[in-house]
Structure 1
């Protein structure tokens, strides 16, 4: 049965369709005959008890440079839609959080994917702290003294913002580095919240594995290998996607996380693993599904729609 689907996302004209997971999900929805309505977060508003979005009917095609067509501009009552896809990228700031509060007013009568309350309660670098035994040694702090003591213990650490994304503002402070004080001072100036400091894992040179789960079940994985001279492996900053398989340890991590993801209504998630360690759980706008399919893995967009259709 065709569904009435709304997609809340970043401006569609700016996306790179070659690796964009939202675009793959939209292509699959259109293939299944679902009606697509598109809007951006600033065009979401509450009028009394009605949650309204100003947007357009959307058509998509897998063609670089002419990948979308917008028609029928209008204001839509989102409560009359069957599904809303919550798919804008971070930053996970108050603007993002506000959209989750607004969308929570129509969920679950209108299915919002992922569950907006659970997205709000599961920032990438906060939710993962529920599984400290799976992580490398980690602290969350604003204190220079804490960072210095942790670095003295670990020898080599990674400093990163708590609500960052895409590999932005991630720094390695190696054993002989003399910039600890200035970097912490910079973070204290730029960010109001605490930041995360983790033991540096040398396994990252062989890749940072992105593992995708759909409704709590393993769906596919890619290995993201950092470029020469770079600590970060994110595709946004030049990392290269490689095909991969799960290790026994990674299967154990998926088995631990899967039931909790399903319980929370986090239908589409991406987890990051370096060596034997879980580092992040991505619930806002995970990527990687196009690369998995390109390497001969599962059609994860199809698995996502199978799961959505089973819930509507």
Structure 2
């Protein structure tokens, strides 16, 4: 296959942990050809199909100079066997526009994973609300009074912005309500911005588990991102320690319920975040942790992904 990765700049990859790099490495190992571009390289001229200025690359196996650029060319997206959208959040206006260009490319015959419309339809924090049987009590609102009533009901809560990533902007408020008013003002900007509020799940001490689902099937190991020191966030970007572990019965129940449903909507790869028995987020843009799980548990996650990609693009 000829595969195009739409991603962040190649020069910024941290290959020792990068999931997109692990996908590329496995694809090349199987003999597939690899190209890459950034969303800013996409273009659509009137009367033409969607193109991109792409970099055709070969992975070298070197730790530092990890790729060799063979050619740079303007190519139609429908000329690739698979286009993999791996641009990291934030899901801002430019990401939104990129999904529209990719959706037009689909109409022209391109095979895009994850499906652009599905990326738009499943905001990573809001998507959990479709599955209330798996979430802790949760409120989505712009109203400060609603947040205060929710806090009075549940005592200890977590507040977060809907567009945050890597644990950014997450606050914990205890039963005493210390700084609640200030936190609400900071996050919802006096009612201008919608926020999410959840009952605090104390099992965060054992880790925020990343459960990967590929082609509707769960990877049998999760990566528990365990908070360090006085931190409440397990995100690796916030200093959490990643520990691979077998899926619990509850993890598997969540994955087997949600995975096939979202796969049918065009989401080849999703990452479920689970704290204790509670689903906290559904990651659809660029789920990570392939390399950590593979290295620690010995289960080849990139191979499972490329298997699913080959089947989906056939």
Q: Distance in 2 between the 1:37 and 1:47 partners?
A: 21
Number of the residue aligned with 2:183: 183
User: Which contiguous aligned blocks of 4+ residues in structure 1 show a shift greater than 6 angstroms?
Assistant: none
* 8 A contact 1:215–1:265 mirrored in 2: no
TM-score by length of 1: 0.95
Number of residue pairs the alignment of both structures matches: 310
Q: Distance in 2 between the 1:11 and 1:76 partners?
A: 18
Q: Distance in 2 between the 1:252 and 1:148 partners?
A: 33
**Between 230-239 and 50-59, the greater mean CA deviation after superposition:** 50-59
User: SS of the residue aligned with 1:104?
Assistant: helix
Q: Distance in 2 between the 1:62 and 1:234 partners?
A: 29
* 8 A contact 1:27–1:61 mirrored in 2: no
Number of the residue aligned with 2:292: 291
Shift in Å, 1:62: 4.7
Q: Distance in 2 between the 1:260 and 1:13 partners?
A: 36
CA 277–37 in structure 1, closer or farther in 2 if over 3 Å, else same: same
Shift in Å, 1:61: 4.1
CA 68–194 in structure 1, closer or farther in 2 if over 3 Å, else same: same
1:65-90 Cα offsets, whole Å, 9 max, x none, are 22222231221111111110100001
User: SS of the residue aligned with 2:16?
Assistant: coil
Number of the residue aligned with 2:268: 267
5 Å-filtered alignment, 1:41-80, equals 41-48=39-46, 49-80=48-79
User: SS of the residue aligned with 1:107?
Assistant: helix
Number of the residue aligned with 1:226: 227
Q: Distance in 1 between the 2:269 and 2:24 partners?
A: 14
User: SS of the residue aligned with 1:251?
Assistant: helix
Q: Distance in 2 between the 1:285 and 1:190 partners?
A: 31
Number of the residue aligned with 2:98: 99
5 Å-filtered alignment, 1:173-252, equals 173-189=173-189, 192-219=192-219, 220-252=221-253
Q: Distance in 1 between the 2:103 and 2:305 partners?
A: 21
User: SS of the residue aligned with 2:127?
Assistant: helix
* 8 A contact 2:144–2:191 mirrored in 1: no
Shift in Å, 1:107: 2.1
Q: Distance in 2 between the 1:63 and 1:250 partners?
A: 37
Number of the residue aligned with 1:35: 33
* 8 A contact 2:161–2:196 mirrored in 1: yes
Number of the residue aligned with 2:115: 115
CA 192–85 in structure 1, closer or farther in 2 if over 3 Å, else same: farther
Report the RMSD for the aligned CA atoms in angstroms: 1.6
CA 103–191 in structure 1, closer or farther in 2 if over 3 Å, else same: farther
1:111-152 Cα offsets, whole Å, 9 max, x none, are 111111111101111211100121000000111111111111
Shift in Å, 1:12: 1.4
Q: Distance in 2 between the 1:39 and 1:255 partners?
A: 33
* 8 A contact 1:60–1:67 mirrored in 2: yes
Q: Distance in 2 between the 1:304 and 1:23 partners?
A: 13
Unmatched 5+ stretches in structure 1: none
User: SS of the residue aligned with 1:256?
Assistant: helix
**Between 196-205 and 175-184, the greater mean CA deviation after superposition:** 175-184
Number of the residue aligned with 1:15: 13
- 1:155 lines up with 2:155 in the alignment: yes
TM-score by length of 2: 0.95
* 8 A contact 2:245–2:297 mirrored in 1: no
* 8 A contact 1:92–1:164 mirrored in 2: no
